[in-house]
């Protein structure tokens, strides 16, 4: 079999890339290893109930009239009609440090500015200068890693404020321990604080179904449960792929969205060995459900809470299974326009050590016991900030970096992939490029924009 365009990976970057190609040529084939699409942003069923993985909130909210906003540009590039989707905005989110200092933010950036002027008056003018800098800064110019933390410390001269600003941006978009690239900082600052967060009204399954229906309408082709085992190449040209089933599909253009080293391994090439100070980051996520009638005291007006309880905020690979000193609490039901349900969902996310979990996973019983223990410990941490709910939990489920590795084939189950990004998508081949997490745009909108921009840059000019 031969196709002109082949995309490996049916996560959001692969789907967006395939839709973008299909707009110009329907002879595109998207290959996904699993029986479901979505990758990190997917869903599963327990007791006939659908649970989402990944989706806390989508960043980059913009109203329909803001034509130049990344969200609307993305919809236009994919030819998706905004009127066919209902977006529910967040109520309000918060960064809470040591249980006392907090910064609230919403989709109205004025709130965040006012919070900073009130709580960090000495840094207020410096913060305005940071905004002036960001207005002029182009984060899309390809540059080597530049520490956002150093830059901010220099600019704001307040380590607590710097850590509080960075905490949500790191949790939602940094593949680097205790830092992030200045360009990535600028992108995430705009995405989270200046534009804000939302979610589609339905489930992630509805959103994925909507994308796939659109892709099919454009004439695109899709094969699920169809893992790529090897990429056939000659010199610096990709010839095609060999599937796990042994079938060979040849192609003219190949786009991989599965990660840089993951792609290198399909090419039979050695991945770069990460240095000790450049580790991949793992996370554990737990979903709790409590009956709404027992949850009246839990926040209704907060969508996401980012917290840190330690003297020093640490965003790094922990030595233990999980680092509970900081984390993210998400209330997926707390978005404007969503009707209350019978069950209230609460999610927690913390940094986790892949190697510890991997070693433990060899012993299924111990792995289960440890998962239960961290789920309990996490709920206790959450209770300090949101009120009690542990005794009312009727369903809970945790996933570890090992779960993420199993379901997405991401090395070490690292959601944000390789700390070193391949910003130009160039893998040293004339017709094989990289999009998605390891290209450098992270999160749902980021990964979709990555798929679109790599197609625009490398594939459309050759059509
Ligand atoms: C717990 C959690 C919470 C998150 N919260 C948010 C959030 O609130 N907001 C937000 O914006 N983002 C969030 N994210 C991040 C977001 O989900 C990801 O950044 C984004 O989905 C990455 O998409 P991707 O297409 O680059 O990669 P992936 O989703 O990893 O897609 C890659 C796909 O390739 C497939 N694949 C791998 N190997 C092969 C192969 N050999 N052959 C064929 N297919 C293959 C995989 O199965 C997968 O489907 C979260 C992620 C997680 C896990």
In short, whether 409's Cβ falls inside 6 Å of ligand 1 is: yes
pLDDT value at residue 275: 59
According to DSSP H, which parts of 257-399 are helical? 260-266, 354-360, 364-386
Burial 259-291 (b: 16+ CB within 10 A, else e): bbbbbbbbbeeeeeeeeeeebbbbbbbbbbbbe
In short, whether 93's Cβ falls inside 6 Å of ligand 1 is: no
> What is the per-residue pLDDT across 74-130, written as a single tens digit (0 to 9) for each?
999 999 999 999 999 999 999 999 978 999 999 999 999 999 999 999 999 999 999
What is each CA distance from 36 to 191, 202, 204, 411, in whole angstroms? 28, 17, 12, 19
Q: Which residue has the tokens 């489920």?
A: 397
Q: Which residues contact 132 (CB under 8 A, 6 or more apart)?
A: none
CATH topology of domain 2-83+201-272+420-462: FAD/NAD(P)-binding domain (3.50.50)
> What is the per-residue pLDDT across 188-209, written as a single tens digit (0 to 9) for each?
999 999 999 999 999 999 999 9
The strand ranges marked E within 282-355 are 282-291, 304-308, 322-330, 343-352
Ligand 1 center–CA 448 separation, angstroms: 10
Sheet holding 282-291, edge to edge: 101-105, 93-97, 304-308, 322-330, 343-352, 282-291, 395-399
- Mean pLDDT across the stretch 352-377? 97
> What is the per-residue pLDDT across 266-279, written as a single tens digit (0 to 9) for each?
999 877 665 556 78
> What is the per-residue pLDDT across 58-79, written as a single tens digit (0 to 9) for each?
999 999 999 999 999 999 999 9
> What is the per-residue pLDDT across 118-170, written as a single tens digit (0 to 9) for each?
999 999 999 999 999 999 999 988 888 999 999 999 999 999 999 999 999 99
In short, whether 417's Cβ falls inside 6 Å of ligand 1 is: no
Q: Which residue has the tokens 């926040």?
A: 299
Ligand 1 center–CA 418 separation, angstroms: 13
Ligand 1 center–CA 408 separation, angstroms: 7
Classify residue 438 by burial, with Cβ atoms within 10 Å: 0-12, 13-18, 19+. buried
């Amino acid at each position: 079999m031969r196709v002109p365009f082949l995309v490996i990976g049916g996560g959001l970057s692969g789907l967006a890339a395939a839709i973008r190609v299909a707009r110009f040529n329907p002879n595109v084939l998207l290959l996904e290893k699993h029986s479901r699409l979505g990758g990190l942003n997917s869903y599963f069923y327990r007791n006939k109930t659908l649970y989402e993985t990944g989706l806390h909130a989508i960043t980059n909210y913009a109203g329909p009239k803001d034509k130049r906003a990344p969200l609307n540009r993305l919809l236009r590039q994919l030819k998706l009609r905004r009127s066919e989707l209902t977006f529910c905005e967040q109520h309000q989110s918060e960064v809470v440090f040591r249980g006392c200092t907090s910064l609230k933010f919403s989709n109205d950036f004025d709130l965040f500015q006012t919070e900073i002027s009130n709580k960090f008056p000495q840094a207020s003018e410096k913060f305005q200068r940071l905004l002036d800098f960001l207005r002029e800064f182009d984060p899309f110019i390809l540059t080597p890693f530049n520490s956002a933390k150093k830059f901010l410390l220099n600019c704001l001269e307040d380590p607590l404020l710097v850590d509080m600003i960075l905490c949500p941006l790191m949790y939602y978009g940094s593949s680097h321990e205790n830092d992030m690239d200045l360009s990535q900082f600028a992108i995430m600052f705009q995405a989270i604080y200046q534009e804000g967060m939302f979610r589609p009204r339905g489930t992630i399954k509805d959103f994925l179904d909507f994308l796939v229906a659109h892709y099919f309408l454009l004439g695109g082709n899709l094969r699920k449960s169809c893992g790529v085992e090897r990429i056939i190449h000659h010199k610096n040209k990709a010839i095609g792929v060999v599937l796990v089933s042994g079938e060979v599909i040849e192609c003219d253009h190949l786009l991989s969205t599965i990660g840089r080293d993951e792609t290198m391994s399909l090419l039979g090439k050695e991945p770069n060995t990460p240095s000790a100070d450049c580790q991949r980051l793992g996370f554990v996520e737990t979903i709790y459900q409590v009956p709404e009638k027992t949850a009246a005291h839990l926040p209704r007006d907060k969508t996401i809470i980012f917290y840190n309880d330690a003297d020093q905020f640490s965003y790094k690979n922990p030595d233990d299974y999980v680092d509970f000193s900081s984390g993210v609490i998400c209330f997926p039901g707390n978005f404007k326009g969503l009707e209350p349900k019978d069950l209230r969902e609460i999610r927690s996310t913390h940094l986790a050590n892949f190697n510890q979990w991997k070693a433990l996973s060899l012993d299924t019983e111990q792995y289960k016991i440890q998962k239960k223990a961290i789920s309990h410990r996490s709920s206790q941490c959450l209770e300090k900030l949101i009120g009690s709910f542990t005794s009312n939990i009727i369903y809970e489920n945790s996933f570890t970096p090992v779960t993420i590795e199993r379901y997405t084939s991401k090395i070490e189950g690292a959601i944000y992939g390789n700390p070193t990004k391949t910003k130009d998508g160039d893998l040293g081949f004339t017709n094989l490029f990289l999009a998605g997490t390891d290209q450098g745009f992270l999160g749902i909108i980021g990964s979709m924009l990555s798929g679109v921009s790599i197609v625009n840059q490398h594939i459309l000019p050759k059509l």
